[in-house]
Chains A and B, each alone.
Chain A
Amino acid sequence: MNPLMNPKGAVAIVGAGSPGLFRTSEDSAITLAHKAVSLALADAGLDRKKIDGLIIQIGSPRGQDYDLAASMLGLNTRFNSQTWSHGRFGATVVTQAAMALTWGLADYVLVFAAYNNSQFGRHGSKGRPSFAESLREGGGPHAESPHSGLTAPVAGAGLAAQRYFHKFGIDPAKLAEVPIAFRNHAMLNPEAVMQKPLTREDYFASRYIVEPLRLFDCSVPVDGSVALILTTAERARDCAKAPVYLLGAQGIHAGPNEFIFGQPGLGVNQAEEFDWQPPADQLVYRMAGVTPKDIDAFYTYDAFSPNVLWGLERFGFCKPGEGADFVQNGRIGPGGELPVNTNGGFLSCGHFNSWYEMLEMTRQLRGECGKRQVKDAEVMQWGTPVGDAVIFGKNPA
């Protein structure tokens, strides 16, 4: 098979590791990285010298940049890359690793995110290094406009949620089901930072942060690290554990119709308002040769609980505006028809920008998840409201 002609199954995850997620960690970002990388190498049964590609998702000041990271971790890498220090590039980074491998730019690509958040101010406050982005020409990455008092990503999500509830006539109370389902998942995952049961009473008693979003609609900021090692399918067979194959991918979308929160057509920020339906033949499904019905568990960027509805709608698990009904009655919780974020997600496991979800999919497809194992799991998907996605499979085809 020429991987350039048919990328499905050409690349696999062969190593995955994390020391865990923490509300606060005393470790530096590079020490956190070191711990995850060592675990991933051991998991793959690979010598450090084999690593010749490196992609970092969160660089300085929250994490470490590729140049120093390589030297500080004793790596000699001939392909290096790093994305903008925002969480949204998880699928893009995995895809970039696959491209580097299929083009022969590297044989083993190490991908990691490692950051110590707790030493910086609250997201949206001026103490946060990323606050400068709020003053970008045209506004911040989540529609921040500080001179309007509009700051923090939660406000952009809140503006999209408010419009979404209005457009589709949705009762905001239905949102409660999302954090509750994810807490139920988290309670089966000893590595999740939130372990106490979350009831409907707890949810409705919680204060608004930026109305309409409540405390429990917001993710839990954490320190931590996750490392993955990817290689070609041929090399993967010689690694310690069963490979988890990358079956399909799709990039993050941008343009006048895209805003980081909501779905196309919602019209928040400057995006156009129109009736939107997800395309029936999205690339990620075409490439993987599956449909949403084949997905055994779905993982999405639940920085805020409405993101889950938008993620499900973006990929056609339900129709636009039907996400809030779709998630009711435990459908996305443990043992549900479509488990979502089985690790507990950003809302209860910890906000780690997709990396803990990538790790979780790897473990699920290897059958390593104990009490929360999705039975007979073969195909799993990451996908976000802005269209980026990856599909992994237990089998290459």
Chain B
Amino acid sequence: MTIAIIERVFPVNPEGLLPAVNADNQRYWDGLARGELNVQACDGCGRKRYPIVPVCPYCAGTTWSWTTLSGKGKVYSWVRYQRGYLPEFEDLMPYIVILAQMDEGVRMFGRLIDKLGVSTPLKIDTPVETLIERWPGGRCVPAFKLASAK
């Protein structure tokens, strides 16, 4: 089950917004480019975790396996930017960023691509699905859409 990838068009060339790819997290970033959301699952306690780290935050276990998430989750919390900070996001104002509770356990941040009214509240627990944005230069990042929206 792969996640749809869409091209992200920017009003200005995005610079300096992406975290570095390293030996720890390469599998996560490479997965996104293939439409997969890969995170670690601790071999000791079984808990999935994100971000990618060498030690389990919950049991301090140091071995893990990679697991692929369904991309489905729910809104755990959200904010709406009414003032802009980043020129790369200026054309999207006002935009919503959610903290998603993924069905398999981890939480992830991502922009909600659906355009809601400027004062339309987003209900916590609203189902969402991951989609992946491909940025200029090829890096891919997760974002979310409302599960009811096609």
Contacts and interface: CB of A to CB of B under 8 A. Distances in A.
Interface in A119-158: 122, 124-126, 131, 135-139, 143, 145-152, 155, 158
Nearest to B50: A270
Contacts of B25: 137
A139 B53 CA distance: 12
A212 interface: yes
Given A137-B19, A146-B17, A210 B81 contact: yes
A268 interface: yes
A210 B51 contact: no
Contacts of B80: 208, 210-211
A269 B106 CA distance: 10
Interface string B2-23: 0000000000000111111010
Nearest to A159: B77
A149 B124 contact: no
A220 B41 CA distance: 43
Chain B contact-residue range equals 35 or more
Interface string B82-98: 11011001001011010
B77 A163 contact: yes
Nearest to A157: B79
Nearest to B19: A135
A139 B77 contact: no
A209 interface: yes
Nearest to B86: A151
A152 B143 CA distance: 19
Given A150-B109, A166-B124, A267-B76, A159 B82 contact: no
Interface string A183-205: 00000000000000000000000
B61 interface: no
Interface residues of A, number: 37
A68 to B, nearest CB: 28
Contacts of A162: 77-79, 124
Interface in B25-49: 25, 49
B124 A163 contact: yes
B57 interface: yes
B22 to A, nearest CB: 8
Interface string A152-188: 1001001110110010000000000000000000000
A270 B85 contact: no
Contact of B16 (A126, A152, A210): A126
A140 to B, nearest CB: 10
Complex A-B, nearest 6 residue pairs according to Cβ-Cβ distance, in ascending order:
A163-B77, A211-B80, A158-B79, A256-B57, A146-B17, A208-B82
Interface of A: 122, 124-126, 131, 135-139, 143, 145-152, 155, 158-160, 162-163, 166, 207-212, 256, 267-270
Interface of B: 15-20, 22, 24-25, 49-51, 53, 57-58, 76-83, 85-86, 89, 92, 94-95, 97, 99, 106-107, 109-111, 124, 135, 141-143
